[in-house]
Amino acid sequence: MGTVAEFDLSAYLISKAALITAELEQAVPVGYPTTVFESMRYSLLSGGKRLRPALCLASCDIVGGDPSAAMPTACGLEMLHTASLIHDDLPAMDNDDYRRGKPSNHKVFGDGIAVLTGDALWSYALEFILLNTRQVPAERLLRVLHTLINRVGVDGLVGGQVVDIQHEGIEEIDLPTVDYIHAHKTGSMIDAAVVTGAIIGGASEDVIARMSRYARKIGIAFQIIDDVLDGTASQQQLGKTPNKDERAHKATYPRLVGIAESTRRARELVDSAKKELDSFGDRATLLLAIADHICTRKS
């Protein structure tokens, strides 16, 4: 693989996204009850950057593993991520009518089926990984499953979402709380992707720890840039109409420190994340490029 500058990440991510989508299409055929399968497929197959699966495969590769052994986990990660997006869009949570440019799951299937679809995807993901992973020693597979279970629960997505909801509409919020929310709501799944890839690839404890630090840093940067992009988009609208997160006084970096400082902090985190991969040399090209992309992306 060439240098970071030579490497065409966009083309790479687009081709990986197509591969993951084809795998997901096969992974969840329509069964009975039809509605829940159609609902799972509606959200799973409706676009998305497939960043977490791409990170998992890249992470397995960088530590010298066979990325095809990580494919079921990469698919499972996307199922878990999709489950969280479906629940996040519900009226009781973020109340979003659109996701990935299409009506959100509950707008199409109703709130009840949307809740159950998130639950179904969560269980389907773990079973899919367990039944389809090949040539990975049982103790690694158990560790992969434990990592995913942990990062979705109170130590991860759920914890972040709870604190996020509790601070909605509250004017006073400090940066450590915002960091907690970002690290758990967004960072934990990015961490899960990188760590599970490294575990499957047979990485040592030291390498897993370094890759986890890389992931957690880019995870927070990812959420900061998400909020910067949201804020910039709303400022560009005529009359500077505040976006939904601003109206709800959401816990974001741009709200607390402004766009310029948020961007600077995201860059700082990404640079620090990249340093964690110093010892990999050229093998790290893809993960370095993904880290840079988090700061430079426009959507």
Binding pattern for the stretch 167-196 against ligand GRG, x by CB under 6 A and - elsewhere: ------------------xx----------
Q: Which residue has the tokens 């741009």?
A: 254
How many other C-beta atoms are found inside a 10 Å radius of the C-beta of residue 15? 12
Residues of this chain, 60-79, that bind ligand GRG according to CB under 6 A: none
Closer Cβ to ligand GRG, 65 or 160, answer by number? 160
Among positions 56, 71, 80, 215, the unique one binding ligand GRG when judged by CB under 6 A:
80
CB of 184 to ligand GRG, least distance (A): 9
User: What CA–CA distance (Å, rounded) separates 21 from 42?
Assistant: 12
44 binds ligand GRG (CB under 6 A): no
The answer to whether the CB of 250 falls within 8 A of the CB of 182 is no
DSSP assignment of 118-178, as one string?
Answer: HHHHHHHHHHHHHHH--SS-HHHHHHHHHHHHHHHSTTTHHHHHHHHHHTTT-S---HHHH
Q: Which stretch binds ligand GRG (CB under 6 A): 69-77, 155-163, 171-179, 245-253?
A: 155-163
**Is 223 among the residues that bind ligand GRG (CB under 6 A)?**
yes
The token duo for 244 is 């939904």
Beta-carbon contacts of residue 60 (< 8 Å; ≥ 6 apart): 66, 67, 69, 70, 197, 198, 200, 201
Q: Annotate each residue in 239-278 with x if it binds ligand GRG (CB under 6 A) or - if it does not, as one string.
A: ----------------------------------------
CA atoms within 13 A on the CB side of 72: 18
Q: Of 226, 227, 245, 292, which lies in the binding site for ligand GRG, with binding defined by CB under 6 A?
A: 226
- Smallest distance from ligand GRG to CB 219, Å: 9
Contact residues for ligand GRG (CB under 6 A)?
Answer: 48-49, 51, 80-81, 83-85, 87-88, 93, 100, 118, 122, 152, 157-158, 161, 185-186, 223, 226
